């Protein structure tokens, strides 16, 4: 039996790395410190006496530029006697506003919602098709600029820190063996109908390590959804039983650049969007970019080879990767899905102490057969938190 380990952004966050979209947006505003700042996203023109120490966010800047709500404002342009702020990128403007309201934003989900909104407007007979196509191109160009900026942020502010981030607890989690006496506990992570099948694999095919422990898995594939290489700190590529697949590319890699966009081809609007015949709608569909390299095929080959257990480390299992995750979770050789969850510092608004149920709910959205989902997801009592630095 094999193991597929899905690595998501929570894995980087568990190492104290600021890789979230919120971190990216916060960093952008923390580094806007010139009265005549101008780049591909914003343009500032501020009084030389402006107090830069009083803000480190978009909201903080606006509160200083427009202390009086009656000061000049049109969409994307803020102005008063103290100066002005002009957004050159409408998508970035919307993302900044949402991020300040809820302290969280998912760029890929928000982008797809904007795209769907433009598509629905295109169905209105009174809407100009050429005008709508122009808006779609503008949206896509705006996302492209944000992706480039995000790539630069990761390359400059995150990548230099990665090599020093190693968690001994994660070293243990990623080891490829269990003690013989732990077999009974381990088998509980699977539906009872698989018990005989797994026992045969373990005791006749899996083999033994030199220290007399049972080899828990035949081979392991790390499916890295992150653009960073934090997982490199834990892998010994001299062994034949570990394979790494950077499914969405890597920061700073020209041959395999980061693949950002949306991957929910199951969405009820997607088929209509695809059938519209307009390629501009599909510019940032992740699955089309999978054909640029062999990474997706390596995943498919791996899950076809043998039964496997899927470990989820730091991936929310949200809809932006729905097509790919559905392929994995519903595969007939996927026998078990084990999420590693995050423990909150304090209870959230629903009085939950961790995000285990949130992950399970997201996993459920990738299953048509809910009975199959309940059979495959490992109960919380047999799961554990993802160790944090």
State how beta strands 334-340 and 308-313 pair.
parallel
DSSP notation for 222-253: EEE-SSS-GGGGG--TTSTTEEEEETT--TT-
Predicted confidence at residue 211, as pLDDT, reads 54
Distances in Å between the alpha carbon of 91 and those of 97, 116, 135? 10, 14, 11
| Distance between CA atoms of residues 97 and 93, nearest Å | 6
Predicted confidence at residue 68, as pLDDT, reads 81
- Which neighbouring-strand residues pair with 178? 214
Predicted confidence at residue 209, as pLDDT, reads 55
Q: How many residues does the chain have?
A: 389
> Contact 186/178 with Cβ under 8 angstroms?
yes
What angle in degrees, to the nearest 10, is found between the helix axes of 90-102 and 58-65?
A: 100
Q: Kindly state the helix (H) or strand (E) to which residue 273 belongs, with its residue range.
A: helix 270-275
| Distance between CA atoms of residues 11 and 26, nearest Å | 20
The tens-digit pLDDT sequence of the chain (389 residues) is 899 999 999 999 999 999 999 999 999 999 988 888 999 999 999 876 777 777 788 998 888 888 887 788 888 999 988 889 999 999 999 999 999 998 889 999 999 999 999 999 888 867 788 888 999 999 999 999 999 999 999 999 999 999 999 999 998 888 766 555 467 788 899 999 998 888 777 666 555 555 555 667 888 999 999 999 999 999 875 566 789 999 999 999 999 999 999 999 999 899 999 999 999 999 999 999 999 999 999 999 999 999 999 999 999 999 999 999 999 999 999 999 999 999 998 877 777 899 999 999 999 999 999 999 999 999 999 999 999 98
| Distance between CA atoms of residues 212 and 190, nearest Å | 24
* pTM score: 0.93
- CA neighbor of 132 nearest in space, from 271, 262, 281, 268: 281
All structural domains of the chain with their residue ranges: 2-17+167-256+293-382, 21-159
Q: Which two tokens stand for residue 132?
A: 């709508």
């Amino acid at each position: 039996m094999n193991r597929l380990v899905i690595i998501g952004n929570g894995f980087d966050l568990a190492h104290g790395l600021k890789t979230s979209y919120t971190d990216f947006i916060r960093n952008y505003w923390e580094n806007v410190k010139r009265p005549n700042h101008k780049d591909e996203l914003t343009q500032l023109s501020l009084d030389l006496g402006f107090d830069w120490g009083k803000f480190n966010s978009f909201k903080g800047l606006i509160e200083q530029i427009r202390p009086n709500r009656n000061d000049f404002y049109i969409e994307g342009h803020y102005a008063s006697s103290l100066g002005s702020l002009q957004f050159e990128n409408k998508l970035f403007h919307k993302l900044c506003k949402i991020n300040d309201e809820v302290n969280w934003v998912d760029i890929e989900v928000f982008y797809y919602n904007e795209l769907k909104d433009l598509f629905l407007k295109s169905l209105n007979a009174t809407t100009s098709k050429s005008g709508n196509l122009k808006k779609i191109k503008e949206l896509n160009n705006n996302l492209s600029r944000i992706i480039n900026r995000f790539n630069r942020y990761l390359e400059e502010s995150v990548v230099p820190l990665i090599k020093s981030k190693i968690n001994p607890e994660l070293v243990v989690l990623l080891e490829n063996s269990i003690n013989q006496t732990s077999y009974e506990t381990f088998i509980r992570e699977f539906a009872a109908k698989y018990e005989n099948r797994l026992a045969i694999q373990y005791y006749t095919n899996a083999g033994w390590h030199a220290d007399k422990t049972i080899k828990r898995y035949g081979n392991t594939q790390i499916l890295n959804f992150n653009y960073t290489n934090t997982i490199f700190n834990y892998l010994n590529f001299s062994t034949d039983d570990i394979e790494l697949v950077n499914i969405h590319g890597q920061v700073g890699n020209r041959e395999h650049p980061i693949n950002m966009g949306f991957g929910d081809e199951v969405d009820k609007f997607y088929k209509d969007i695809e059938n519209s015949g307009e390629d501009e709608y599909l510019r940032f569909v992740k699955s089309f970019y999978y054909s640029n390299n062999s990474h997706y095929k390596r995943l498919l080959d791996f899950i076809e080879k043998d039964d496997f257990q899927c470990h989820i480390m730091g991936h929310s299992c949200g809809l932006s990767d729905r097509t790919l995750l559905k392929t994995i979770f519903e595969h007939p050789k996927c026998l078990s899905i084990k999420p590693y969850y995050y423990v909150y510092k304090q209870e959230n608004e629903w009085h939950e102490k961790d995000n285990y149920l949130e992950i399970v709910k997201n996993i459920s959205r990738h299953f048509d057969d809910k009975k199959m989902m309940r059979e495959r997801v490992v109960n919380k009592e047999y799961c554990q938190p993802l160790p944090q630095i």
